[in-house]
Amino acid sequence: MDTMLAGRFHLDSKKFVVEEVPVPVPGPGEVLVEVKAAGVCLSDVHLIDGSLVPLFATSGTVTVGHEVSGVIHTSGPDVKRGLAVGTRVTLEAGKTCGQCAGCVRRRPCTQMLTAGIDYDGGWAQYTVAREDTLIPIPESLPFDQAAIIPDAVSTPYAAVVTTAGVRPAQAVGVWGVGGVGAHNVRLARLVGAAPVIAVDPLPGARERALAFGADLALDPAAPDFADQVRAATGGRGLDFAFDCAGVPAVREQAASVLGREGALILVGITPKPLTITEGLTFNYLGKQVRGHYGGTPESVTELVRLAACGRLDLAPSITDHIPLANAVDAVNRLENKIGDPIRLILVP
């Protein structure tokens, strides 16, 4: 086992290719994981199309992929956790650089490195992971479902539970019901939000939102959109509006239908400026805007437990399985929304 197949993005030429590369060797405190499943995320697409630029790239070429599950194949020296060869794991989507105070609690900071963007990820037959980024998964949790937890599920979970702190009976709106937004709908319902209102211009996405637990699914272009939100919330407006699209127009619309002390949660990422044109009423009603980025180690562990206990069935989130060798086709399918995928899974 000297070489393996990997999906590699070359930063200088901006080319993505699936090619043979040497199997990585785990260093101190690291393990080699045999990849069983890897999710295809919109962030991967944005890396490949050039709209997402690595901030802390560790080399000129990177193996893409930050949603990964597999089994421990080999341990490097000085591994302390004692995870046995063959242990089923999912990998956190990022790691701290190990150089700053934020690393004490492994929280995102200015030196938070993202797998598959800043350092090699899991679109490969094998990947190296630092031991503190491994989350064991039970036999009852399929690899494909476990793979998507560290981002597609963990990001909206942390947004709902931590950044927003949604409580039962609070009114929630979710704009953009794609891979992240669909899970945002499910998780808002899981914690007891009522009503849960999904907002998406695509009829298929609105239908999916209803299947995922939304009480109402609205077209943002409907002339009576604001009236529908007011009617659904008994005239109160939303307690929380989650922007999972990262679109300026979404943020404007979402902020406008917040109720007293309502908060706009920025889950979707965009390099475009944040603008809120609403005037005095924004101040008068005490509205808020809160930034959000990714999940937390705690959220991944909690979600694994919820899925393992049957509280969260992620099977409907898996749209298709695609051989790693056909990763270029998977990127094209997600980029062009062919088949309206939630999560495509690469299988080595």
pLDDT of residue 110: 47
pLDDT of residue 150: 93
pLDDT of residue 340: 85
pLDDT of residue 274: 87
Question: Mean pLDDT, consecutive 10-residue segments, the chain of 348 residues?
Answer: 93 94 95 97 90 82 96 92 91 72 47 83 96 94 96 96 97 95 97 98 94 97 97 98 93 96 93 86 95 88 94 95 97 91 95
Contacts 24+ apart (CB under 8 A), 287-290: 287/255, 287/258, 287/261, 287/262, 287/263, 288/261, 288/262, 288/263, 288/264, 289/255, 289/263, 289/264, 290/163, 290/164, 290/263, 290/264, 290/265, 290/266
Asked if 153 and 177 count as a contact pair (C-beta separation under 8 A), the reply is no
pLDDT of residue 255: 95
pLDDT of residue 210: 97
Asked if 327 and 18 count as a contact pair (C-beta separation under 8 A), the reply is yes
- Model pTM? 0.90
Closest CA to 175 of 230, 282, 252, 290: 252
pLDDT of residue 7: 97
pLDDT of residue 106: 47
Q: How many Å apart are CA 115 and CA 134, to the nearest integer?
A: 13
pLDDT of residue 56: 79
